[in-house]
Amino acid sequence: MSASVVRTRSEEETIELGRRIAERLPRPAVVLLIGELGSGKTTLAKGIIQGLAAADPEEVSSPTYTLIHEFGDGARVYHIDLYRIDSAAEVLALGLDDLLNSNAVLLVEWGERFPQLWPEDRIEIRLRWLEENTREIEIRGAEEARHGTVRDREQRL
């Protein structure tokens, strides 16, 4: 499968990348945000949620303790953080089936923890810390989402 790799050099660039990804996201969509602590998962989610016109970045915080945040009226976006979740059963207890059967966009931090929960055609975004302000962000999955990347910094694998 092909992928796009982009480097961002600030928090704002990562938010901008999120906005571009949002423009091309299919509906429904499951987007797994995969990367270590501080790699920028929540930051990218801010941009995607803003790009979907579901909320402003300052309204987006990490759902580490609340597990799931809901944004938008008609166009629903769910932002989920599995960091503190111990089992797939706990995720299902959040009402995951209903979310997957809606037309929503699901953004899932630490989504790689329970891969069996997610549809085959999910989008996987991997974030790597390179330097203090530099992150490498790899997008795999829906063709459309990859085209949301900044073209002059994009390379095909």
Ligand X SMILES: Nc1ncnc2c1ncn2[C@@H]1O[C@H](COP(=O)(O)OP(=O)(O)OP(=O)(O)O)[C@@H](O)[C@H]1O
Question: Cβ contacts of residue 37 below 8 Å, gap of 6+?
Answer: none
Locate all alpha helices (DSSP H) within the chain, ordered by sequence. 11-24, 41-51, 88-93, 96-100, 143-146
β-sheet bridge partners, residue 38: none
Residue 149 found at the interface with ligand X (CB under 6 A): no
48-87 mask for ligand X (x: CB under 6 A)?
--------------x-------------------------
**Residue whose CB is less far from Mg ion, 84 or 151:** 84
In the chain, % helix, strand, coil (3-state, to 5) comes to 35, 30, 40
Binding Mg ion (rule: CB under 5 A), the pick from 14, 42, 50, 149 is 42
Decide if residue 41 touches Mg ion (CB under 5 A).
Answer: yes
Nearest alpha-carbon partner for 40 in 146, 136, 111: 136
Binding to ligand X by residue 10, rule CB under 6 A? yes
Partner from Mg ion, ligand X, none binding residue 138, C-beta < 5-8 Å depending on class = none
Q: Is the CB of residue 137 less than 8 Å from the CB of residue 13?
A: no
- Of residues 26, 38, 95, 115, which one binds ligand X by CB under 6 A? 38
138 is an interface residue for ligand X by CB under 6 A: no
Tell me the two tokens of residue 113. Answer: 């923890």
Does residue 63 have a cis bond before it (omega within 30 degrees)?
A: no
87 contact choice in Mg ion, ligand X, none (CB below 5 to 8 Å, kind-dependent): none
Q: Which residues bind ligand X (CB under 6 A)?
A: 8-11, 13-14, 35, 37-43, 62, 109, 133-135
